[in-house]
Structure 1
C-alpha cells in the first residue's frame, strides 16, 4: 500500500509544526517594529535610578569591571550603583555607591538570590526609594548593559521593562567548549526577540522574563516583593505576577550583554536550575495564578512536541511514506529556510557589539570577518541549538529538582583580572 491511512493523518498533523518558524518570524518582526516605534518614553517622570548588581560574591573582579564600564558611560541624571552580596566574600567595590551584605540571619519565604533581592528591597523601602518615580535596573554579576540599554530602561514609561539579551561577551572565544556553548546560547537571544518582544511589548503579558536587565519602579517592587517560596525563576515570578496585578510592561530593542558558560557541566547546571525554577512556579498556585501558569506550561509542551513532530514529519515526507501537495512542499521549504536564517541572524547579533569590536581592534575587516564566520557557524549549529532545550527539559525531569540555587563560574578560566585602580567620582 503506497499511502497508508495513518500517514494521511500524520502529514496534516505535522504540517502546523512545520509552520512554527514562519509564525516565529512574524512574531519577531511584529515585536521589532513595536519595540522601535511604539515604546513609550517619559524620562521626566522619574527622578532617580538604582543600578543593582546582585551577586553571591564569587566574581568580585568581574563585578568591579562592570561597575567601571558603567561609570565610563558618563551617564547624566541622578543614579547610584548598588552591589548586593552574601557574607564571607570580598566586599571591596570602591566605584559602587552602596555595598550591601545580606545578613546570615535574614530569613523570608524566598532563599538564595531571591532572598538577597528581598533584603535589598526592604533597604530601599527604609530609605523612601519605593515610589513610582524611582527605577531599579537589575544586573547580574556576568552581565553588562550598554549605555543605550540603561537610558532606554530608565526612560521607559512603564512599570516594568527590559530589552534584548545577547551573549556577546567572549562570544565564540576559545576553548572549543565555550565556542560551542556560545552558539548553543543563540536560542536565548532568539527566544527573547520572538517571544519576549511580543508578549512583553505588544500584549503586556510576559511569557518569559529574564532577570538580566529587568527594570522596575520602586512601587512595583514594593507591591509585588521578592518574598515568594522559590529557589529560582525569581525574575519570571516577579514579572508575571506584576502583569497579573495590572502593572504595565514595555520592551525595547537595546542590548544587555551576557557571558555564556565555560564548561558543559556549568551549562547543564544553569539550564537545569532555570527549568526547575519554571516547573515549580508553574505547578504551585501559591507562586503563580493558574491563568498565568497555563500559557507557560503550554509553551513548554509546544516546544517538546514540535521538535518530535517536525522530525517525524520530515522523515515521512523525505522517505515518501506520506505525500503532500506541491504547495505544502513549497511552504515547508520557505519555513525551513526562515528557521535557518533566524539562527544565522542570532549569530550575527551575538558576534557584534562593543565587546567584540574591542577584541578585533575596532570595526575593521577582522571584525566583519569574525561576524560572518559566526553567522555561518550559527546556521550549521542550529539543529543542536534548537533541540537542546527539549533534552534539558527531559533530563531535568529525570534527574530531579536541585536542592539549592546553583551558581556557575562567569570569569574566563585563567584570565588575569583587569580591574581599575583609581576611584571614579560618583555623580
Structure 2
C-alpha cells in the first residue's frame, strides 16, 4: 500500500491558483496506482470556509480508483492548519485500517505531511518518497506557517528512500540535510502532450503571416501575466496569442480578447485542450517573477512541458538545474515587455539557431521525465532494479484530470 499525502484540489480545479501542482499531483497519483493496487490519499487541502469533519471517501483520479481521507476543515484556514496537526495520530490509525503501508509519498515538507510521514515510517517501517517542489520560505519567510514547515522538514522528516527535487537549490538543501541521493524532477511529460505536438512543427504556417504565441498558466502578476497582457496590447497584428488560465487578470484578458483579434482567451481548459493549443503555437513564453528573490525555491512546472513540445521557449531567468540540455534549449530574456517583444519579433530566426538544442532537449525531457522513466527510477530506488521503460511501454499513460467522489463517511 502507498499512502500519498498532499493538498489536492480536484473539485475546485477550475479556480485553483496552483493548477500546475494539481496536475503534477494527479500525474504521480496515477503512477502510485500503477505501482500498487492499494493507494490511500491523505488530502491536506484546507479549501472550506466552514467546519467540515474529517471524511473517508472514494476518489476517482482519471480512471484510477483510490481511497481518500480528507482532514477536518475549519472556518479560519490558518487556525485550521494548526489544528490539523492534532489529527496526526487519528489519521495514522485511519490509514492502518486499509492495510500496512509499504511506502509513504509526501508532496512537499509541510508540517502535517512531515509529522504523518514520520509516524507511518516509524510504526510500519514504510519507505519514504519525498517530492520537494517548493522551498518552504520562498514566498512568506516571516509567516508562522512556513517557519513551522521549515522546522518540521529540518528536524522531524526521516531520511527519504527517494527524493524528487524541483531544482538544484532544493536538491542541495535536502542532500545536506539527509545525505540521501536526489533525483531532478522540475516537471513531468505526458504521452498526450507528445502525441499532440508530433503532428505539427512550429513556424509552418507561412500563410498566416503571424507568429503564434502561447501563454498557459496562472493569470497573476507573480506569474508574469501582466507582462503578457501588455504584449498583447502592443501586438499590432504581428502576433496571435493563445492564453489559458485563471486568476485576477482573467477578466482583463477576456476583455482584450473580445476587442482584439490578436488574442484568443480560452480560460480554464482540460489537459487535452491544453495540449492541442500548445501544438498550435510556434513560441511559448514563461515570464515568472524573480525566482531568485524567492530563494530559488521553485521551478515553473510548465517550462518542462514547453521544452518537451519542441517549440521555441522564451523565458525569464530560471534557477540552476542539473538537466543542462533543457536550459540550453531556452532563450532567456529580461523581465521587461520590450525584451520579450524583441525576442518574439526575431522568433523564427531564434528557433532556427536553437533547433538542434531544442530537439536534444525534447529527447532528454521525454527520456527522463516521462511517466515510464520516472516510475522506473522510483521503483528501482525503492525496491531494487526494475524492467526498463522500453519493456514497460504499454504502462506509461499519464493521468487525465477528473475527480468524482462518493461513499462518504465522517470522522
Taking structure 2 as the reference length, the TM-score comes to 0.30
Higher helix share: 1
Higher strand share: 2
Taking structure 1 as the reference length, the TM-score comes to 0.29
- Higher Cα Rg, which structure: 1
